[in-house]
Amino acid sequence: MQHRRQLPWRETTHPYPIWLSEIMLQQTRVAQGLPYFLKFMEAFPTVADMANAPEEKVLHLWQGLGYYSRARNLHATAKEVTFNMNGKFPKSFSGLLKLKGVGDYTAAAIASIAYGEAVPVVDGNVYRVLSRVFGIETDISSSGAKKEFTALAASLLPPGQASNFNQAMMEFGALQCVPKNPDCTICIFNQTCVAYNTGRVNQLPVKLKKQKVTDRFFNYLIIKDANGRTLVNRRGDKGIWHGLYEFPLLETPAALSKEETVVLIQSFKNLGFTPKNISIINTEPVIHKLSHQKQHIWFWEVITDTELPEAVEKEHLKTIPLPIVLHNFATEYWP
């Protein structure tokens, strides 16, 4: 383990920081997740601190990390552990699986690292290492792949060394057996690695299933009332951004011309006022890519002489959770 990265959650066996880091690092690179981990640990030194915080604060700190369901599950689990489990995380793989947002991988990581339970961790890094070293051509997105790779990883676990083995496998995949152009000439397995010795490093692991990406077209209205304040709405209980705030939104099935969009905004009954002036802020759309959708976003400035009691000062936007694309816009628009 002398080559492992020095990471704060690796310096402890306490389940709270291990759990927090594993939730954060789901579909997130360590370099991106580390500042968030430190920020969360400063704001919530214990699981009880997180449980007692409003969800809005948790979402605000999470802003920019994406996949916001992770943050909502994080908060729900913190409350479950604090209020229903006397502040103690379950001490077994099976018990950890009962926590919201904790799947096989996360439960195995916590159980092996915090408690030394002999359960293998199988994530994208482990899939890659095992498929290459053993020459496994099973499609890792197929229904049987998880069972096959978990069984293989379990057979390799050295007695009493689950924590070190699992962390070593994840580190090896992250640092040496990387997805593209790994330096196999310095790899300790290059004498026995099937992929390297058969010229299939770039073909393994096999992943055939691709997620369909949907194009969506958003027009956000930056409404300025008679007092120079603006409107924001809190999203409801559906969608990837539920619980976050956003500007009033008009979504269209396709991109419209500037003239068509102005007419649409003028007829938007939910405004509750007659716009004095409408102007486009960005003529080229901001492109925001998610795993399952590609958003084409335009921002429109809508001026009214009406005083809107529900409008907020621009400084208020710094205190509430916004999707990162809206946060970035607001930061640039109101420097």
Percent helix, strand, coil in the chain (nearest 5)? Answer: 45, 15, 45
Instruction: Tell me, letter by letter, the H, E, C secondary structure of 161-201.
Output: CHHHHHHHHHHHHHHCCCCCCCCHHHCCCCCCCHHHHCCCC
Catalytic residue among 11, 22, 55, 260: 22
Catalytic: 22? yes
One DSSP character per residue, 114-142 reads HH--------HHHHHHHHHHHT---BTTS
Neighbours of 129 (CB within 10 A): 24
For residue 263, the surrounding DSSP H or E stretch is helix 258-266
Neighbours of 159 (CB within 10 A): 6
Angstrom distances, CA of residue 60 to CA of 21, 295, 323: 17, 22, 9
Cβ atoms 221, 326 nearer than 8 A: no
Neighbours of 269 (CB within 10 A): 5
Active site residues: 22
